[in-house]
Chain A
Amino acid sequence: MSGTAVETHEDGLRHDARRERWALFGLSSPALILVLVILIIPVGWLFYLSFIGADGQFSLENYQRMVDRKSYRRIFETTFQVSLITTGLCILIGYPLAYFLSQLPNRIAGLCLITVLLPFWTSLLVRTYAWLVLLQKRGLVNTWAMDLGLWDEPIKMVHNLTGTLIGMVHIMLPFLVLPLYGSMRAINRDYLKAASNLGASPTRAFWTVFFPLSGPGLFAGSLIVFVLCLGFYVTPAVLGGGKVIMVSMKIASNIELFVNWGAASAMGVVLLLLTMLILWVASRFLRLEQLAGSGHG
């Protein structure tokens, strides 16, 4: 067959292929535009603003301030402290719970999981408010503790670090338990049988086989909790009573009260970079979908 006698439609086919690609791209374009306009561009703008000083010129003073001023350093310290302690407590409390759930038969585990999911779905504000009410001077915790004779005078458990930590642990716990539970469920039971068979006591089998296998899930869950704590706003603002100042709160006050966009955006950039870095590390251990699947609210 001579090439000239039969058309090969190469250009036409290429054109069709390109048109189809664009059509499919078009389907996701409204979503992409929304993300671009409301997220990427504003955050980019903030990035730019962080390099603008009080005089309107390019400067690094906003970043310098964070290093120089003690108050700023303290805010970062507090944020890290609260995040680390919260994450640690979540691990201590959440790991046994996740383990317990993973050992239950499927249906019962599903029912018990509701106790984790119910607070997870409940509005953040409502949960924070609940702790506010419970921990106040005349609140439930103090009243019952005094009735039981645990202490004589009402202890100040709210509008301070204690209240903040209690509230944050309560809110962050599902974020650790859910991915951890998932990864524990996926551990092949045969490994434990093999360990037993080879002579390991139940305790030993747990520490040498189960625990390491649950490692990635634990690590990823902890990173998620840590990252969420870093940027958290509502709970520390309410339960901290102004005594616990986290980065997010400083950003907010810088804008609401001082209209200091430079300072606020610089802190924002630092917070964002930290968050992205930690999430990137977590993504090496846990797939993207699982990460996002447990996050809501």
Chain B
Amino acid sequence: MIHWLNSPASETQITHARRLWLYALSIVIMLLLVAPTLIVIPMSFSDSQYLEFPPETWSLRWYRHYFGSPEWMAATATSLKAAFLTMLVATPIGVLAAYGLHTSSIRYGRLALALLITPMMVPLILVAVGAFYVYVKLKIQYTLLGLVMAHSLLALPLVVLVVGSALKSFDLNQELAARSLGAPRWKAFVTVTLPQIRFAVTTSALLAFLTSFDEVVVAMFVSGGDNATLTRNMFNALRDQIDPTIASISTIMIIVTTVLMVLALTFGKAKDPG
């Protein structure tokens, strides 16, 4: 232990001992980063209105309340539907766009990419308000269609960037080879390129799903009535009082999100062939 403390920690030969404060501080910060999220999980099993930690009495009360409530269940269904549809819409559109950008001239590609990234740059409240305005005019306010379109807009940049980056490290000569062997462009893409970027496509599909599922601000303005999303209802509940049911919903959301992200990461880490 002493030996380690006195050993050099970096190129400047500073010892671990002199850096101990940094290590301690960093560990505290990391704990503070994860703790709030994780603490919600055991707290959701607390029986009391005030959600103690550690829970004095363990119970599934708030879960029962969640699953037993028609409003919450309807909202959850809406969120899941919207997320799923967003994934189905944003992924193909984004993949095609990424491919189109990649194979077109540099000038056009840069311009189009900048345009496709804008949903990430514009403050979310403006996207929400703008969509709200247009939807009222088009009379698709509070519909699933409107919600999916808005969420697809938000997910699109992610798909384009993730798939675009995979295409960049892909050897496009393989497509040329396939075409020289007799495959028209679309067939070459489907039989040669697509199988090799499938991990990027899957990852971006999952990201699209999560983007929609977690989204609050746009959903607040664009979903409502029968089509209110889970996040919208949660937000409204939060503004009024601390409804402990939200703890159980949060736990479920944390687990769902983590599972999906782990899936996405393992796909991403598993090196694309070739």
CB of A24 within 8 A of CB of B37, answer no
User: Which residues between 127 and 177 of chain B lie within 8 Å of chain A, taking CB atoms?
Assistant: 127-134, 149-150, 152-153, 156-158, 160-161, 165
A234 an interface residue at 8 Å Cβ cutoff? yes
Among A54-62, A80-88, A149-157, A192-200, the stretch in contact with B: A192-200
Interface of A is mostly: helix
Which of B97, B121, B132, B239 sits near A279, CB closer than 8 Å? B121
CB of A39 within 8 A of CB of B214, answer no
User: Which residues between 249 and 297 of chain A lie within 8 Å of chain B, taking CB atoms?
Assistant: 251-252, 255, 261, 264-265, 268, 271-272, 275-276, 279, 288-289, 292-293, 295-297
CB of B100 within 8 A of CB of A27, answer yes
A237 an interface residue at 8 Å Cβ cutoff? yes
Q: Which residue of A lies closest to B51 (CB)?
A: A133
B126 to chain A, nearest CB (A): 5
A13 an interface residue at 8 Å Cβ cutoff? no
User: Which residues between 88 and 128 of chain A lie within 8 Å of chain B, taking CB atoms?
Assistant: 93, 96-97, 99-101, 103, 112, 115-119, 121-128
Please judge, given known A-B contacts A125-B238, A288-B117, whether A103 and B10 are in contact too, CB under 8 Å: yes
Which of B25, B165, B207, B258 sits near A118, CB closer than 8 Å? B258
Interface bits A209-242 vs B (CB < 8 Å: 1, else 0): 0000000000000000000001101100110000
CB of A230 within 8 A of CB of B123, answer yes
A6, B257: Cα distance in complex, Å: 66
A167 to chain B, nearest CB (A): 9
Q: Which residue of A lies closest to B217 (CB)?
A: A233
B59 to chain A, nearest CB (A): 17
CB of A38 within 8 A of CB of B210, answer no
Which of B36, B105, B118 sits near A35, CB closer than 8 Å? B118
CB of A233 within 8 A of CB of B22, answer no
A118 / chain B contacts, CB cutoff of 8 Å: 33-34, 37, 258
B103 an interface residue at 8 Å Cβ cutoff? yes
Interface bits A26-42 vs B (CB < 8 Å: 1, else 0): 11101110110111111
B129 / chain A contacts, CB cutoff of 8 Å: 42, 46, 251-252, 255, 264-265, 268
CB of A297 within 8 A of CB of B211, answer yes
CB of A21 within 8 A of CB of B104, answer yes
B58 an interface residue at 8 Å Cβ cutoff? no
Interface of B is mostly: helix
B246 an interface residue at 8 Å Cβ cutoff? yes
B82 to chain A, nearest CB (A): 14
A81, B30: Cα distance in complex, Å: 26
Which of B34, B37, B160, B247 sits near A31, CB closer than 8 Å? B160
CB of A123 within 8 A of CB of B130, answer no
Among B64-72, B108-116, B192-200, the stretch in contact with A: B108-116
Q: Which residue of A lies closest to B215 (CB)?
A: A297
B210 to chain A, nearest CB (A): 7
A254, B36: Cα distance in complex, Å: 33
B242 an interface residue at 8 Å Cβ cutoff? yes
CB of B97 within 8 A of CB of A27, answer yes
CB of A132 within 8 A of CB of B156, answer no
B113 / chain A contacts, CB cutoff of 8 Å: 288
A275 / chain B contacts, CB cutoff of 8 Å: 121-123
Which of B99, B156, B210 sits near A121, CB closer than 8 Å? B210
CB of A126 within 8 A of CB of B12, answer no
Q: Which residue of A lies closest to B220 (CB)?
A: A252
A297, B234: Cα distance in complex, Å: 16
A121, B213: Cα distance in complex, Å: 12
CB of A31 within 8 A of CB of B96, answer yes
B69 to chain A, nearest CB (A): 17
A192 / chain B contacts, CB cutoff of 8 Å: 10-12
Please judge, given known A-B contacts A28-B97, A96-B25, A255-B132, whether A134 and B39 are in contact too, CB under 8 Å: yes
A268 / chain B contacts, CB cutoff of 8 Å: 123, 125-126, 129
A251 / chain B contacts, CB cutoff of 8 Å: 125-126, 129
B72 to chain A, nearest CB (A): 14
A140 / chain B contacts, CB cutoff of 8 Å: 39, 52-53
B214 / chain A contacts, CB cutoff of 8 Å: 123-125, 297
User: Which residues between 5 and 42 of chain B lie within 8 Å of chain A, taking CB atoms?
Assistant: 9-14, 18, 22-23, 25-26, 29-34, 36-37, 39-40
Excluding A42-B127, A96-B22, 9 further A-B contacts by CB distance (< 8 Å) are A34-B153, A38-B131, A45-B134, A46-B126, A121-B261, A133-B51, A173-B33, A202-B18, A238-B235
Q: Measuring CB to CB, which residues of chain A are less than 8 angstroms from any residue of chain B?
A: 21, 24-28, 30-32, 34-35, 37-43, 45-46, 93, 96-97, 99-101, 103, 112, 115-119, 121-134, 136, 138, 140, 143, 170, 173-174, 189-190, 192-193, 195-196, 200-203, 205-206, 230-231, 233-234, 237-238, 248, 251-252, 255, 261, 264-265, 268, 271-272, 275-276, 279, 288-289, 292-293, 295-297
Give 19 CB contacts A-B under 8 Å. A27-B96, A28-B100, A31-B97, A45-B133, A119-B37, A125-B234, A125-B253, A130-B250, A193-B11, A202-B10, A230-B123, A251-B125, A252-B221, A255-B129, A275-B123, A279-B121, A289-B161, A292-B117, A296-B158
